[in-house]
Amino acid sequence: MPHRMWVFVLFGFAWIACAGVAQASDSLRVGNRLLMVGDTAAHVQELLGRPSYRAHRGSSRGRHRRGTRGRSSSGGQRWQYRRDGHVIVVTIVDGLVTDIDERRS
pLDDT in the model for residue 25: 80
73 occurs within a structural domain: yes
Which domain does 62 fall in, by range? Answer: 22-104
17 occurs within a structural domain: no
* pTM of the shown model: 0.64
Q: What is the CATH number of the domain that holds 69?
A: 3.30.1450
Alpha helices in the chain (DSSP H): 3-19, 41-48
Provide the number of structural domains found in the chain: 1
Neighbours of 96 (CB within 10 A): 15
For residues 105 and 99, what is the distance between their CA atoms, to the nearest angstrom? 19
39 occurs within a structural domain: yes
Rounded average pLDDT over 49-62: 77
63 occurs within a structural domain: yes
9 occurs within a structural domain: no
12 occurs within a structural domain: no
Report yes or no: 72 and 47 within 8 Å, Cβ to Cβ: no
pLDDT in the model for residue 14: 52
- Encode pLDDT of 1-44 as tens digits: 566 665 555 555 554 444 444 567 899 999 999 999 999 999 99
Report yes or no: 96 and 41 within 8 Å, Cβ to Cβ: yes
